Amino acid sequence: MAVTVSLVALFGLVLFFLLRSNTLGYGSAFVAVMFGFYLASTGASEPVTELTAAIVDALGKI
C-alpha cells in the first residue's frame, strides 16, 4: 500500500510539471496512464501494481 501511495504522489507530481511546461510526448503520456491506473484502481491496475512491486523488490535486492 505504501508503494502505491508513493507512486500516485510521484506520478501526480511528474504529470503536473509535464503539463505545466507544455511537454507533450510519449513520456508524458506514459506518466498520465500510470497515474490514471493507480488513481482509479481499475481491474487493469492489479497487473500494473504487481509489476511495479516486482520491480521495487528487484531494485531492493541489488
Mean pLDDT of 20-47: 74
pLDDT value at residue 1: 52
**Measuring CA to CA, which residue among 2, 14, 12 is closest to residue 39?**
12
Give the C-alpha separation, 19 to 54, whole Å.
29
First to last CA, the chain: 22
Please name the helix (run of DSSP H) or strand (run of DSSP E) that holds residue 48, with its range, or none.
helix 45-60
* pLDDT of 44 above 80: no
pLDDT value at residue 56: 84
pLDDT value at residue 42: 65
* pLDDT of 41 above 60: yes
Average pLDDT score over the chain: 77
Give the C-alpha separation, 42 to 61, whole Å.
29
Confidence tier at 2 by pLDDT (50, 70, 90): low
Give the C-alpha separation, 1 to 21, whole Å.
30
